[in-house]
């Protein structure tokens, strides 16, 4: 029941719900999550309760339940014993008792007032133990006899040792059982509305056919607009407490997934390179537009703090998934379950709907994003960066191909993502022709350039500083110095060019290498990747 109330009317961060009718129970909300006792809501049935009028059992449930009140009413001859055999059972007998009280039967009024007193004392005991921000009571013991709420509040105020606090009666009134059954039955739909609609075949998950936009945030806006349209077809539906369905196009908060490499790592070390820069700079620019970004990446050291604030509006969450050392990118599929659990736990600490978009980078993140998308009912935007099929088609002699596991995983993510972002038209065509991606779901977003770092300078001065001829041709290698980037190919090519330049006067004029480079004398076949 408390889960249902939180769905429709989110309240304080901590709420206590107490139920009483034929049984008694309670539930507690802490930071948006509903908790029940380990033995079930009815754990409080054995709480101490004192009332000789209601039987003197000393236990709460056997004192205030409908059956306990009816036993007392028959003992006091307020109700005839025959009422127990009515076709509508105890509910009809309780109705008779309520009618008697409202008709002026003092014994009936005293009995219901005594029940209200015991309930008020019990609510006070629970409140003092748990100290919630909000108190809600429900069940026919409270709602069918509103005249008794004054006695409940009086007993509560007299027994609670904490500062005064109001008691709120559930908005579901006497229909708490029906509403509770509906909440449980529809729990899967509330938790994952789009997933339920997909499974029922009621929702076309393809995004509308739109022109590609100039930036990731434009793709987010289209993905977000699609979700709003899918969830709120009726223009009369408004949720004033939920900016997700408001007029603003931009999402409020993005969960950005980068499983295998951290945006905090120094580019050029390990697997840290272009994707790290892309992820971090995208997040920083989105934050400047007022969109909060939380980046989830795998922790690689025990000293990694759980959360790092990189800049206002940008957090990096280091998720513990597997050992900190000894795993490379190809081992990480075994840790995706652990990583996904860390991502889902972070979201579960907030109110439902905390993230508006999931943006995954590389196929490993896409697998986790797929799960988060279905769990949170938000769009999944995916950037592959590279594709196994394309890499395998361009293998050099001796290179190991990407494993089939990756190809299968990439196809799954392409099939499931609501929006695919690529850097170039060629990459878009690869997704469409090889992975059969829907062209309407693909956006070409050219990577930007940090003009504070890269900008035109004085070419002559730069050549002079490096010892290069002012009019010679220069071959530049840009990339990490590691086997994956194959700088040995550049060195072999340079050695070949040097041989040509040495044997040809024209070549000597066209290619003039700086004298201080010792690789100038290397033979073309003498360079290995390890060197």
**pLDDT for position 215:** 60
Total residues found in the chain within this entry:
531
Mean pLDDT score, 442-454: 87
The band of 340, judged by pLDDT with boundaries at 50, 70 and 90, is very high
CA distance between the termini of the chain: 67
How remote is the C-alpha of 289 from its chain's centroid? 21
CA distance 55 to 46: 15
CB 55 within 8 A of CB 63: yes
The CA distances from residue 408 to 125, 169, 363, 447, in Å, are 57, 53, 10, 27
Q: Count other Cβ atoms within 10 Å, centred on residue 449.
A: 10
Q: Which tokens sit at 289?
A: 């537009």
Half-sphere exposure of 509 (CA within 13 A, CB side): 2
Q: Tokens at residue 408, please?
A: 């299968």
Query: For residue 431, how many C-alpha atoms fall within 13 Å in the half-sphere facing its CB?
Result: 29
pTM score of the predicted model: 0.52
- Span 269-318, pLDDT tens digits: 666 667 888 999 999 999 998 999 999 999 988 899 999 999 999 999 99
370-405: burial string, b at 16+ Cβ within 10 Å, e else: bbbbbbbbbbbbbbbbebbeeebeeeeeeeeebeee
- Range 106-114, long-range pairs (CB < 8 A, 24+ positions): 107/76, 107/78, 108/73, 108/78, 110/53, 111/53, 111/54, 111/69, 111/72, 111/73, 111/76, 111/78, 112/69, 112/145, 112/147, 112/148, 113/148, 113/151, 114/51, 114/53, 114/54
Q: Write down the mean pLDDT value for the chain.
A: 79
Task: Let me know: does 60 contact 24? Beta carbons within 8 Å.
Answer: yes
pLDDT at 39: 63
What does the alpha-carbon distance between residue 89 and residue 75 come to, in Å, rounded to a whole number?
A: 18
Q: Write down the domain spans for the chain.
A: 2-185, 203-444, 459-521
The closest alpha carbon to 61, from 10, 118, 12, belongs to: 118
Q: Is the pLDDT of residue 71 over 80?
A: yes
- Rounded to the nearest 5°, which phi and psi values hold at 255? -95, 110
- C-alpha–C-alpha distance, residues 41 and 44, integer Å: 7
Domain made up of 2-185: CATH architecture: 2-Layer Sandwich (3.30)
pLDDT band at 254 (very low <50, low <70, confident <90, very high): very high
pLDDT (tens digit, 9 = 90+) per residue, 123-144? 999 998 888 888 888 888 888 8
pLDDT digits (tens, 9 = 90+) for 214-246: 566 666 666 655 444 443 333 332 232 333 333
- pLDDT (average), residues 151-168: 89
How far apart (Å, rounded) are the C-alpha atoms in residues 224 and 178? 34
CA distances from 74 to 107, 293, 364, 413 (A): 11, 64, 68, 67
The whole-number pLDDT of residue 447 equals: 86
Of 40-44, 347-351, 363-367, 402-406, the one with minimum mean pLDDT is 40-44
| Assigned architecture for domain 203-444 | 3-Layer(aba) Sandwich (3.40)
Other Cβ atoms closer than 10 A to 62: 18
Helix 362-376, helix 404-416: angle, nearest 10: 40
The answer on pLDDT for 450 being more than 70 is: yes
């Amino acid at each position: 029941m408390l889960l249902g109330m939180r769905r429709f009317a989110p309240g304080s961060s901590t709420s206590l719900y107490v139920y009483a009718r034929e049984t008694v129970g309670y539930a507690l909300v802490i930071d948006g999550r509903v908790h029940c006792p380990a033995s079930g809501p009815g754990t409080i049935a054995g709480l101490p309760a004192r009332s000789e009028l209601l039987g003197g059992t000393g236990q709460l449930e056997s004192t205030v339940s409908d059956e306990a009140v009816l036993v007392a009413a028959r003992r006091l001859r307020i109700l005839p014993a025959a009422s127990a055999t009515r076709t509508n059972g105890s509910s009809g007998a309780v109705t008779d008792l309520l009618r008697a009280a409202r008709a002026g039967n003092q014994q009936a009024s005293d009995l219901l007032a005594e029940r209200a007193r015991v309930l008020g004392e019990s609510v006070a005991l629970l409140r003092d133990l748990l100290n919630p921000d909000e108190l809600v009571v429900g069940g026919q013991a409270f709602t069918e006899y509103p005249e008794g709420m004054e006695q409940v509040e009086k007993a509560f105020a007299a027994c609670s040792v904490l500062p005064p606090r109001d008691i709120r009666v559930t908005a579901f009134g006497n229909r708490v059982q029906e509403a509770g059954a509906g909440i449980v039955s529809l729990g899967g739909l509330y938790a994952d509305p789009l997933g339920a609609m997909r499974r029922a075949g009621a929702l076309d998950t393809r995004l509308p056919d739109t022109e590609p936009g100039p930036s990731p945030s434009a793709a987010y806006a289209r993905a977000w607009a699609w979700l709003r349209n899918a969830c709120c077809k009726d223009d009369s539906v408004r949720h004033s407490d939920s900016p997700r369905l408001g007029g603003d196009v931009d999402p409020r908060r993005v969960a950005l997934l980068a499983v295998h490499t951290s945006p905090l790592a120094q580019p050029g070390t390990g697997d840290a390179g272009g994707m790290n820069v892309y992820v971090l700079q995208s997040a920083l620019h989105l934050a400047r537009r007022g969109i909060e970004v939380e980046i989830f990446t795998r922790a690689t050291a025990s000293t990694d703090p759980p959360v790092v604030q990189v800049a206002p509006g940008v957090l990096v969450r280091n998720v513990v998934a597997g050992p900190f050392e000894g795993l490379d990118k190809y081992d990480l599929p075994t840790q995706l379950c652990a990583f996904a659990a860390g991502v889902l736990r972070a979201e579960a600490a907030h109110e439902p709907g905390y993230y508006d978009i999931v943006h995954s980078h590389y196929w490993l993140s896409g697998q986790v994003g797929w799960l988060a998308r279905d769990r949170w009912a938000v769009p999944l935007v995916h950037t592959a960066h590279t594709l196994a099929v394309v890499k395998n088609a361009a293998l050099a002699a001796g290179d190991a191909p990407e494993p089939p596991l990756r190809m299968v995983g990439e196809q799954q993510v392409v099939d499931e993502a609501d929006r695919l972002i690529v850097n170039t038209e060629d990459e878009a065509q690869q997704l469409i022709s090889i992975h059969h991606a829907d062209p309407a779901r693909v956006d070409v977003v050219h990577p930007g350039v940090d003009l504070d770092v890269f900008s035109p300078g004085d070419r002559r001065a730069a050549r002079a500083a490096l010892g290069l001829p002012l009019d010679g041709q220069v071959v530049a290698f840009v990339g990490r110095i590691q086997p994956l980037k194959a700088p040995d190919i550049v060195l072999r090519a340079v050695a070949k060019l040097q041989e040509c330049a040495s044997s040809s006067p024209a070549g000597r004029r066209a290619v003039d290498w700086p004298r201080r480079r010792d690789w100038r004398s290397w033979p073309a076949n003498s360079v290995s990747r390890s060197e």
